[in-house]
Structure 1
Amino acid sequence: MSQQTRPPPPPPQWALDLNSNPSPKAKSSSIPDPPGYTSPTALSTGKQSKVSKNTPQTPARKPPTTEEMDTLKLKKAWELAIAPAKQLPMNAIGMYMSGNSLQIFSIMMVFMLFKTPVQAVLDMNNTFARFELTEGKDRLLWVKLVYVAMNMLALALGLWKINGMGLLPTTRSDWLAWETAREPLERAYPAFPL
């Protein structure tokens, strides 16, 4: 008995369609192709379509000069320096709404209000490293000073909150109530009469 080998079955139609070139479609609409679009037929034949021949070609953009790059970097650095001040109204409303009682929610909010600015100031050089200028490096110093000032405003908001909660020892508060009132020396009576 000789065994005949069968030829493999033909591939399914979807595989044939996937590997074949797309059929050129007749342009049925009067809408032109968008700028920069190259039709698949122009790619396969290496020719440009009628629409792309009629549209003007955009010139290649020249690379920016170092002065333009420094200006752009400085603008982005200023945006980053002002960013902590943009968060202050939201933080102030959150602090006001959390109340002055000692609860886990208000304590965590105050902790984050202190942690974020301190961490931002400590990591300032890494934050502004990508904005280093080739000329006029002293201009970036002013940006960093504004960044520190904006973070100090956030710390001031935190101090206001913990003062409202009664955690700053600025006045005699309830946790110091065990202390007796002190009398000034001029009103004190001597132990032995003179």
Structure 2
Amino acid sequence: MSKEKEILDEKKYNKLIIVLSVLIPIVVAILFGVKIPNVEPLTFLPPIYASINGLTALVLVLAVLQIKKGNRATHEKLMKLAIMLSVSFLVMYVAYHMTSDSTKFEGEGAIKYVYYFILLTHILLSIIVIPFVLITYVRAITNNIEKHKKIARITFPLWLYVAITGVIVYIMISPYY
């Protein structure tokens, strides 16, 4: 594929990437404030979506190991799985918060500051990582492999951090459910 074709293929996705990168956090924020009345709280979801975060982290690491071994097809399948897991997490997370009251962290002292630091960085990076994931994916599907590799070096640690800190946040707040 010529460089011009790669650039054109990428450009056709840019508007969609921008729209999704803005729309997803806004919709999540709006839905986070919506409470569905007279619905059984989905209190069983937090350990499930925390496990999905853990699985996402594992899949991301496996995907990197596969590409380092030259297994492009397996890498691609694992990355698609990581995206599906992240979407599944997000749907469950929003569903939980639409049916259940938020849980307050009740730890005191230094652990409280540690928890809120992890939570804040988790939330901020979960928003920031969206366009990185989308751009990285588009560069792969448009076969712009050099640019894909370049941005994947940024996307991977951000996404991995978000996945791992999602599990840590759950573990830290789970005694207060």
Q: TM-score, normalised by structure 2?
A: 0.26
Larger RCO, structure (CA 8 Å, separation 6 or more): 2
Q: TM-score, normalised by structure 1?
A: 0.25
- Answer 1 or 2: which has greater helix percent: 2
